[in-house]
Amino acid sequence: MKILTVVGARPQFVKAAVISRAVAKCDGVEEVIVHTGQHYDTNMSDIFFEEMEIRHPDYNLNINGLSHGAMTGQMLEKIEKVIIDEKPDWVLVYGDTDSTLAGALAACKLHIRLAHVEAGLRSFNMQMPEEINRILTDRVSNILFCPTDKAVENLRNEGYENIDCDVVRCGDVMYDAAKYYQTKAKRPQADIPQKYILCTVHRAENTDNEANLKGIFSALETISEKIPVVIPIHPRTRAILAKANYDFAGSRICFIDPVGYFEMIWLILHSELIMTDSGGLQKEAYFFGKKCVTMREQTEWIELVDCGCNVLAGANTELIIKSVDEMLAKNVDFSLPLYGDAHSGEFILSKLMGK
């Protein structure tokens, strides 16, 4: 059996590596990895692949820096050619990027079976390009690998019981990855306070909205009076703050340079609380037993809110401060198996093999 995996961003490589490791242990299965190049990432050096134990892509399409339409169109054209040349039994896509959608369209138009990992996730916000990508990808997939019960429920509510496809609750491959890499966690080369809150801010809905950005950073400054807030600052976020004349020198916030995945795990493990507008970090907080305040109006990971491990605070200064105070004082149960048993990769591969 041959699997053609389409990825386009660093987090997708980490997810794909989970199944690649399962493939490496299985006789009779070949995997071809196609990197669209969607997110140009200088951190994706040889060291990245070696440290993360990730296979180098077999194809690198180098498509990036274009509009959604132009990028998706070029990816579709080039992925289609690779599929025709490689003749895979399955095309495997992850998540909700333009690369995900392009891989899905190329596969279904060539009548190659398509599997979508992280299917069924919904933010119910059609202003997000990711929401459009994930809905369209789900609709043309043959197997929808859902990480959570909520994802399965979303598809049921959309009538997928009446569509010729298999909806499978498989657990979350990111949980597999987090547990696998936990032993490799390492302290960043930065001055980290002994007790701190870990925070990330990078989503366009916050960074490109002046009121949202001001609301969030006003809250962070106030919170930093009580407990240090450590932010591995995304270059784009730093540039936007600088343009807005943010007083970095007078700030109480502990800004550090961006960190790698192993350093991020260390920061999560040693933090008191997570504050973020990231999707993945909300889950990683749960994986490592940390409470989370999410600075967004919606989340795809609603089960975290339902179980009390996460709270949505948006960009409202007062609500963010109140949410942090309440979460720091709150007792939370992290024992619920929300994301499987850290063996999702093997389970997914067995389903692709028809077992």
The band of 43, judged by pLDDT with boundaries at 50, 70 and 90, is: low
Contact indicator for 103, 93 with CB cutoff of 8 Å: yes
pLDDT tens string 152-181 = 999 999 999 999 999 999 999 999 999 999
Please, what's the b/e burial string for 85-99 (b: 16 or more CB within 10 A of its CB; e: otherwise)?
A: ebebebbbbbbbbbb
Name the DSSP letter for residue 336. S
At residue 45, the pLDDT reads 65
Residues 6+ apart with CB under 8 A from 228: 193, 195, 196, 197, 252, 253, 254
Contact indicator for 296, 124 with CB cutoff of 8 Å: no
Instruction: Name the pTM for this structure.
Output: 0.89
Domain 2-172+340-352 and domain 184-329 have a common topology:
yes
Helix (H, G, I), strand (E, B) or coil at 34: strand
The fold adopted by the segment(s) 2-172+340-352 is Rossmann fold (3.40.50)
* Enclosing H/E stretch for 294: strand 292-294
Name the DSSP letter for residue 184. G
Superfamily covering domain 184-329 = Glycogen Phosphorylase B; (3.40.50.2000)
Closest CA to 132 of 68, 36, 65, 207: 68
pLDDT tens string 71-130 = 999 999 999 999 999 999 999 999 999 999 999 999 999 999 999 999 999 989 898 899
Residues 6+ apart with CB under 8 A from 81: none
Domain boundaries defined on the chain: 2-172+340-352, 184-329
Check 39, 56, 202, 270 and give the catalytic one.
Answer: 202
Cross-strand partners of 21: none
β-bridge pairing 113-117 and 143-146: parallel
The CA-based diameter of the chain, rounded to the nearest angstrom, is 60
**CA 152 – CA 109 distance, rounded (Å):** 25
In the predicted structure, residue 190 carries a pLDDT above the cut 90: yes
User: Which own/partner pairs from 127-131 qualify as long-range (CB within 8 Å, at least 24 positions apart)?
Assistant: 128/205, 129/68, 129/98, 130/95, 130/96, 130/97, 131/96
pLDDT tens string 204-262 = 889 999 999 999 999 999 999 999 999 999 888 999 999 999 999 999 999 999 998 89
Sheet holding 273-276, edge to edge: 254-256, 229-232, 197-200, 273-276, 292-294, 310-312
111 is catalytic: no
At residue 48, the pLDDT reads 78
In the predicted structure, residue 40 carries a pLDDT above the cut 80: no
